[in-house]
């Protein structure tokens, strides 16, 4: 039984119960649409009058809509309900070292509009560019249904304050991006680490064996390595959002690139996209060619591997080996039901899965439970994660 945190506990009021019932009805409609009021009452064991009142409120708020009559089971044909897809509900901002994307999404997570924003190494200039784009999207919101803005950042973030504590690539510290967005646009802003956001997207949009799991870990392979931890269906963030910094655990000496912290023995230094590119350049005999090195990027390495180039295949399988070492440590320590590998590396899953799984299975002690190792099916996990930061508050599915 979970112990109640008395520092945060509040006595339940009638409004609390109404809010919980409202979230239950809204989530049943999302998960099982189209669905009738009678079916909701039956599966939730609520009074039909209670369900009807909640449904009318959700319709008034523009969250759901009636789409016609269903099949009769002996009486009147039931009226079916679904989420209302028209109009934008969320704005997601995905900031990465290489690019920044701002997009609007409807209530079911479909991207409606998107715009690429040029990166700047100056946080004030970056904020101004983002706010201009968000304001443009908000001005075009003729339904006035945008509920908020979600921001995904590649570094240490404190979600409680909405501040970026430290973003290694940009060297940004104590960046109050949520406050700046809210002050300029009037929209509520939620900020989180990119791996946490991607893990939330898996809960929201992921394959059923992941989204239905109560405990899983997401390993995001990008410029660095990030991990999002889901325990009992909730993102685990730790004190000031600092949980999940497993990219800095030591896995061996003499990595092909330096970690963002400067060390050569971190998991990130062995398993990131940058590490894979460095291995490819070494394998292809291009490590001293500055021009070739500048052109080589991880996506190109993946495409060359899929095209059969052995230097690229070897680079990815060696990277997968070290990725597996880190994942095996997480499995031994946390015993999740599943581990989701996310990022562009999953495009080469048939090539890397054998090396990854062999390393993991060899390191798990006999008799201890392992975990399902699956590739993410999300093409833009951190952008969808930014959107999920808003939608999850709307549906009350996770603490964000």
Beta-ladder partners of 341: 219, 375
Whether the pLDDT of residue 369 is over 80: the answer is no
Range in 148-152, 291-295, 303-307 with the lowest mean pLDDT: 291-295
Range in 151-165, 204-218, 378-392 with the lowest mean pLDDT: 204-218
Give the β-pairing of 163-167 and 64-69. Answer: unpaired
What's the mean per-residue pLDDT of the chain?
88
Whether the pLDDT of residue 306 is over 90: the answer is yes
What is the model's pLDDT at position 217? 97
Report CA 7 to chain centroid distance, whole Å: 29
**Closest Cα partner for 177 from 113, 245, 109, 128?**
128
What is the model's pLDDT at position 15? 65
Share of the chain above pLDDT 70, in %: 90
What is the model's pLDDT at position 8? 54
The three-class DSSP label of residue 337 is coil
Whether the pLDDT of residue 322 is over 80: the answer is yes
Summarised one tens digit per residue, pLDDT across range 191-209 is 999 999 999 999 988 888 7
Interacting residues of 269 by C-beta distance below 8 A, sequence separation 6+: 255, 256, 257, 258, 259, 263, 275
Q: How far apart are CA 85 and CA 205, in angstroms?
A: 16
pTM as predicted? 0.86
């Amino acid at each position: 039984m979970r112990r109640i945190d008395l520092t945060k506990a509040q006595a339940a009021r009638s409004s609390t119960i109404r809010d919980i019932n409202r979230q239950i009805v809204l989530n049943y409609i999302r998960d099982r649409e189209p669905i009738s009021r009678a079916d909701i009452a039956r599966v939730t064991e609520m009074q039909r009058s209670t369900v009807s009142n909640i449904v009318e409120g959700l319709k008034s708020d523009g969250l759901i809509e009636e789409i016609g009559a269903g099949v009769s089971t002996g009486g009147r044909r039931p009226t079916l309900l679904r989420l209302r897809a028209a109009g934008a509900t969320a704005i997601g901002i995905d900031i990465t070292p290489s690019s920044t994307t701002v997009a609007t999404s409807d209530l079911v997570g479909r991207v409606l509009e998107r715009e690429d924003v040029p990166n700047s190494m100056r946080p004030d200039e970056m904020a101004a560019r983002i706010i201009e784009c968000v304001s443009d999207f908000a001005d075009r919101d003729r339904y006035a249904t945008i509920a908020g803005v979600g921001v995904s950042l590649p570094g240490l973030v404190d979600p409680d304050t909405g501040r970026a504590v430290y973003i290694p690539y940009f060297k940004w510290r104590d960046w109050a991006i949520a406050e700046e967005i809210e002050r300029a646009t009037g929209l509520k802003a939620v900020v989180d680490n990119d791996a946490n956001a991607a893990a939330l997207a898996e809960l929201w949009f992921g394959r059923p064996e992941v989204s239905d799991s109560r405990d899983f870990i997401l390993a995001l392979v990008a410029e660095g390595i990030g991990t999002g931890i889901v325990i009992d269906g909730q993102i685990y963030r730790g004190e000031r959002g600092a949980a999940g910094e497993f990219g800095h655990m030591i896995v061996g000496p003499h990595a092909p690139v330096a970690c963002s912290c400067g060390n050569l023995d971190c998991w990130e230094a062995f398993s990131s996209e940058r590490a894979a590119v460095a291995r490819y350049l070494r394998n292809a005999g291009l490590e001293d060619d500055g021009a070739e090195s500048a052109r080589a990027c991880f996506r190109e390495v993946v495409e060359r591997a899929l095209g059969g180039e052995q230097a690229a295949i070897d680079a990815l399988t060696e990277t997968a080996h070290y990725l597996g070492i880190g994942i095996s440590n997480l499995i031994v320590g946390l015993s999740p039901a599943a581990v989701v590998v996310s990022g562009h590396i999953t495009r080469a899953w048939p090539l890397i899965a054998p090396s990854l799984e062999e390393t993991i299975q060899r390191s798990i002690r006999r008799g201890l439970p392992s975990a399902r190792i699956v590739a993410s099916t999300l093409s833009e996990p951190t952008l969808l994660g930014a959107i999920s930061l808003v939608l999850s508050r709307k549906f009350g599915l996770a603490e964000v």
